[in-house]
Structure 1
Amino acid sequence: MEADSRTLHIASWTDRFLAWLVDVVIVGAVLGSLGELASAFSVLAGGLAASPLAGLNGVALFLYWTALEGSRGQSAGKMVMSIAVTDERGESIDYGTAAIESFGKAFVLPLDCLIGWLAYDEEGLRLFNRLSSTIVVEQDGTDRPEDVEYVYPGDE
């Protein structure tokens, strides 16, 4: 019995970094906005306490990546860069796998990348990709059914 063969293109470190940067900016902007709102309420309530959201970036990023990559394999940054997290066969991952994969980049990114570059550079893996048996692959950008032809305005 012959298995179906498929080719997976591992995403470049540059694409992965740019996707990470988009995600960090998005989550940072949301947390910053919520922090400003929390600070305004604190001042209005007569206190000058620091925002209760300060220091939650890692937790927010972990939850963000786990939720999006566990449900669809892509965060917003990965969508922009047309890359996705999959298992080693190119199949979707679940939330548990996404949580393991996301932990490294949310909480110990320098160590995660350094070990990955030293030990798994040829494979394009971070340490927590290896621990979760995940890879980051390029998407072909064709989510369209093969039996449908799209006609766009001006193509007639």
Structure 2
Amino acid sequence: MDETPATERALHLASWEDRFWAWLIDVLIVGAALSGLGEAVGTLSLVTGDLSFSPSFLGVNGLGIWLYWTALEGYNGQSAGKLVMNIAVTDERGDPIDYPTAALESFGKAFLLPLDALIGWIAMEGEYVRLFNRLSSTIVVEAPKEDEPAGVTYVPPE
């Protein structure tokens, strides 16, 4: 039986600061999109005289951001904010996550962020995870630079 030893790799955990900026970028993007959609629904409500659309639209912010994070992080581990900040969600070994894992991981930050983060900071101090990261067995890491070929160093102009 030939057992090859597992190769070790270093995973650089993302800082809370990078995670905050990625979150803020995402919230602004989704908020702008939902605001525009809400304006369209509101205009439709005024034109048709049926104002029943407007109140129901107020509760979609959390659902919208949850679906956004689930879709993008389940696809490639990065939302737009994470892409800008060069961080990604992975499993605890640094491998990609799937959609159900992304859905669980994203639930806490979409609906329960203050509690989710506070429990992570207090109960799992120094691990850089939120409660829902722990529940979904995920971590947020600095994204590897996959666009650079191995053995090549780029030198900027002087």
1:75 to 75, 79, 84: 79
How does the TM-score come out when normalised to structure 1? Answer: 0.90
Which residue pairs with 1:19 in the alignment?
Answer: 22
Q: Is 1:55–2:35 an aligned residue pair?
A: no
* Alignment RMSD: 2.0
Instruction: Write the distance in 1 (CA, Å) between the matches of 2:44 and 2:145.
Output: 44
For the 8 Å contact 1:34–1:53, the answer to whether it is kept is no
User: How many residue pairs end up in the alignment?
Assistant: 153
Which residue pairs with 1:42 in the alignment?
Answer: 45
What SS is found at the alignment partner of 2:139? Answer: strand
Structure 1 moving runs of 4+ over 3 Å: 47-50, 147-150
Instruction: Write the distance in 2 (CA, Å) between the matches of 1:11 and 1:148.
Output: 25
1:95-110 alignment, distance < 5 Å: 95-110=99-114
Structure 1 unpaired stretches of 5+: none
**Partner amino acid, structure 2, of 1:13:** W
Q: Is 1:132–2:131 an aligned residue pair?
A: no
Instruction: Write the distance in 1 (CA, Å) between the matches of 2:51 and 2:99.
Output: 39
For the 8 Å contact 1:31–1:53, the answer to whether it is kept is no
What SS is found at the alignment partner of 1:122? Answer: coil
Superimposed CA distance per residue, residues 81-133 of structure 1 (whole angstroms, 9 cap, x where no aligned partner): 00000000100000011011001001111110010000112110000000000
**Partner amino acid, structure 2, of 1:128:** F
Instruction: Write the distance in 2 (CA, Å) between the matches of 1:88 and 1:46.
Output: 52
Q: Is 1:31–2:34 an aligned residue pair?
A: yes
Q: Percent identity?
A: 62
Residue 42 of structure 1: CA displacement?
Answer: 0.7
How does the TM-score come out when normalised to structure 2? Answer: 0.89
